[in-house]
Structure 1
Amino acid sequence: MDIATQSIEGGFADPVFNAQTVFRAVMDAMARPGSVQALSPLAHPPAPLSATSGAVALALCDNDTPLWLDPALQAEAPVRSWLGFHTGAPLANTPADAHFAIIARPAEMMALDGFSQGTQEYPDRSTTLIL
């Protein structure tokens, strides 16, 4: 399968309802830290991006939310193309510039202080990590 085909295939079959399902699972997980939320594979991104991380990106990212990819994902052109096609999210140059960061290999993740921390007044300006 060529890169153009990989970029288009694998998105949500029903974008509105699938995005709502994923968004609800993410909100439940954030409201109940430490709990596990079941999420069926609604997206089928190219490897090494997991189905869950891909679905979360499709539900939360758009052209106004810069996205940073860890080195394992950044090295894969099909992953960058798939996310670009399905979300329109620009890729951030640095982790601190990103609204969202997708980490494929958490054990190899950089230090958390490299990501935007937000402030007391604006905690929403921090980078949200998708592991």
Structure 2
Amino acid sequence: MTDIDLAETAYPVQMQLEAYNARDIESFMQWWAADCAYYAFPDTQLAHGADEIRARHVERFKEPNLFGKLLYRSVIGNVVVDHETVRRTFPEGTGEVDVICIYEIADGKIAKAWFKVGTPRLDQAQR
């Protein structure tokens, strides 16, 4: 694959990350296929279809500190793998968590996604 092909494959992932960080549900959803599948790694389905993914994220986007920081991205074929640190408000308080995100791209949209979530690290003041 050329650098152009890699950038084109990663484009929907980058755009949904930017919309995630802006907490813009409309921009976020335009990068997900209508029949997309969303999993906790390796195979626990959390949502199927754009409506279920939207419902999960409408609530998450209410978190004022929500932000995904991309640490590393790899693209092989139609698969994009991101390693991110995500700042969130957890039930126990604010902090961050490492996440490995695996996206399967089809027709310029995210068709499937898997997320391996680490252990949340709460901010020092809350420990």
The question of a shared fold, defined as TM-score above 0.5 by the shorter chain, is answered with no
Q: Report the TM range for the smaller structure's normalisation.
A: under 0.3
Bigger share in strand:
2
Bigger share in helix:
1
TM-score of the superposed pair, with normalisation by structure 1: 0.27
